[in-house]
Copies of this chain bind each other. A is one copy, B any other.
């Protein structure tokens, strides 16, 4: 049997350094280049993806014999892949049967398996990128990065955090308590890491891998068996992941059912039934707040980690780079058509306008600047396709259409034709202007390419409204533009108090939407947008427990 831990030891050590230093680091190249991934990787990945279409994706799991699947690419075609279903009883039983051996394995063995899975996922990044693209609607490059390399980074980050916590637990110690002149009291103690049980990972449709890998790998490495329940619209990327994990587990001598895929349909969802099973000890969930709140109420003593939703804001006070501001924000609103939990929805601008390097800009001139930047960014069809990707589902598109009346249109959403994919669901962002009082319009999450320029009395009011929204509705990101150091300091205080990380004066290539593994703590866990952070010690430390055995020391 290969020693996976030894093989990946160097990567692990670098990851452990990275989570401590939290500067830039990544072991998985984000550039879909033949030089890095092999000259045939692109063609191989595409071929593998095509082979999965219109066929049975067989994971050789326990099954009730039914095959389901109705994934439709947002680029306009049905995937036709089907997956074997299993009853919740079958899944839990198989997971329970598998987990004892897995939990009993040495920490290094489990970590080694996880690192090998990550490496094989990386090698299959082109195939996974195609699968992510044609389920989430992300453009290919983004799918390769966010769905491939960056998701793998997030997985590795979780493995590193988990290993850091696991290796803290000593194996065996001698406890020796002095008794003055008498011989000391002595106990031999051994400490054993016990897993929580079955871990459930509930995926979402927009970032099926990026949002699932942290919980998946953290639960796996800490000794839990894992059941992955993808969103019915984005099964394939996680089915590929599960297949690779099961293969590595088998090679390492473990029951492949240590990792299981649980497929369901929108009509007959099984997540609630799974979540309520007493064997389930850990739940990771990414998705809407209604189900998130239900999970919080039902979790009891299960460990629950959620990323839900929020209303992200940018506050504009002033800038020394108006063009850069508009271009950067236009990109933030357009990237993956705003279908990111990190995309801004509200842009607070003083009604009397702002000072800029181009002189005073009125509120309407700011709106115009943003609209012009959007038009410029998305004016070229190829670039538009590369930036916007496709709209994951019809509901989001309807939401765009229904939102037009929520304010005065600054930039209308337009349906676009994709240069390559006929029937792709594409739309440019809708930008509306509203008054500060219209919080019923801008103050609710409107997922998708919908944003508001909100006229406030001054930037301070914008700040206070943005922070209040973060605190009450949740927020994962915040942005501010100001040339005034004192205003920036106030913004830092206000957003910190609301539990949101803040990006200041982004006018270049970095977007407020971006979150880098090993450096950015994604989601604070300190407002309603989610109760957990990807990734910190709290994200991993509760996924296992310690029990000891103590006995009189054998002299």
Instruction: Indicate if A462 sits at the interface (CB-CB under 8 A).
Output: no
A398 in the interface, Cβ–Cβ < 8 Å? no
Q: A149 vs B165: C-alpha distance in the bound complex, in angstroms?
A: 28
The CA of A492 and the CA of B548, in the complex, are separated in Å by 9
Q: How far is the CA of A545 from the CA of B196 in the complex (A)?
A: 23
Q: How far is the CB of A412 from chain B (nearest CB, A)?
A: 32
Q: Residue of B at shortest CB range from A537?
A: B541
Answer whether residue A47 sits at the interface, using C-beta atoms and an 8 A cutoff: no
Contact A22–B185 (Cβ < 8 Å): no
Write the A518-555 contact mask toward B (1 if CB under 8 angstroms, else 0): 01110011101001010011100110011111111000
The closest CB in chain B to the CB of A324 belongs to B552
Size class of the contact patch on chain A: 35 or more
Query: Is B296 a contact of A173 with CB atoms below 8 Å?
Result: no
Among candidates B499, B519, B549, residue contacting A492 with C-beta atoms closer than 8 Å: B549
Q: Which of B492, B546, B547 contacts A495 (CB 8 A)?
A: B547
The verdict on A300 contacting chain B, using a C-beta distance below 8 Å, is yes
Among A38-46, A348-356, A370-378, A506-514, the stretch in contact with B: A506-514
Q: Which residue of chain B lies nearest to A20 when distances are taken between CB atoms in the complex?
A: B168
Question: Which of A126-134, A187-195, A236-244, A420-428 makes up part of the contact surface?
Answer: A187-195
A276 on the B face (CB < 8 A): no
A510: chain B residues at CB < 8 Å are: 185, 187, 550, 552
Check A525–B537 contact: CB distance below 8 A.
Answer: no
Asked if B509 contacts A533 (CB within 8 A), the reply is no
Q: Given that A175-B24, A176-B24 are contacting pairs, would A550 and B497 also be in contact in the complex, using a CB cutoff of 8 Å?
A: no
Which chain B residues border A521 with CB–CB below 8 Å?
Answer: 191, 546-548
The complex places the Cα of A546 from the Cα of B293 at a distance, in Å, of: 23
Which of A22, A168, A296, A528 neighbours the largest number of chain B CB atoms within 10 Å of its CB? A22
How long is the Cα–Cα vector from A551 to B512 in the complex, in angstroms?
10
Given contacts A24-B175, A165-B537, A542-B538, contact A547 B526 (CB under 8 A): yes
Are A546 and B536 in touch, CB under 8 angstroms? yes
Collect the chain B residues with CB atoms within 8 Å of residue A519's CB. Answer: 173, 175, 189
Residue of B nearest to A298 (CB): B297
Chain B's closest residue to A184 (CB) is B24
Do B552 and A508 touch across chains, with their CB atoms under 8 A apart?
Answer: yes
Chain A residues touching B, majority SS: mixed
A547 in complex: contacting residue of B501, B508, B537, CB < 8 Å: B501
A267 to B138 Cα, complex, angstroms: 60
Q: How many whole Å from A20's CB to the nearest CB in chain B?
A: 7
Question: A419 near B: Cβ within 8 Å?
Answer: no
Q: Closest residue to A300 on the B side, CB-wise?
A: B296
- Asked if residues B552 and A501 are in contact (CB atoms below 8 Å), the reply is no
CA distance A301 to B503 in the complex (A): 25
Collect the chain B residues with CB atoms within 8 Å of residue A549's CB: 492, 501-504
Closest partner residue, chain B, to A297 (CB atom):
B297
Contacts of A550 in B (CB 8 A): 501-504, 510, 520
Verify A301–B175 contact, CB threshold 8 A.
Answer: no
Verify A194–B497 contact, CB threshold 8 A: yes
| CA of A492 to CA of B172, assembled, Å | 14
Cross-chain contact of A552 among B187, B506, B547 (Cβ < 8 A):
B506
Q: Which residue of B lies closest to A519 (CB)?
A: B175
Contacts of A178 in B (CB 8 A): 24
Does chain B have a CB within 8 A of A78? no
The answer, yes or no, to whether A23 is at the interface (CB within 8 Å) is yes
Q: A499-B547, A509-B185, A546-B521 are in contact. Are A22 and B173 (CB under 8 A)?
A: yes
Q: Which 9 A-B pairs have the closest CB atoms?
A: A538-B541, A504-B551, A526-B545, A537-B541, A538-B542, A501-B548, A24-B177, A301-B531, A524-B545
Known pairs A20-B168, A194-B499, A301-B531 / 18 extra A-B pairs, C-beta < 8 Å: A20-B170, A21-B173, A22-B175, A24-B177, A24-B178, A177-B516, A185-B510, A192-B496, A196-B526, A499-B547, A500-B547, A504-B552, A505-B552, A506-B551, A521-B546, A521-B547, A536-B541, A542-B542
27 residue pairs of the A-B complex, CB under 8 angstroms, read: A20-B170, A21-B173, A22-B175, A22-B189, A24-B176, A24-B177, A168-B537, A187-B510, A189-B520, A191-B521, A192-B492, A192-B496, A194-B497, A296-B300, A296-B301, A492-B549, A502-B549, A502-B550, A504-B549, A505-B551, A520-B548, A520-B550, A521-B547, A533-B545, A536-B546, A537-B541, A538-B542
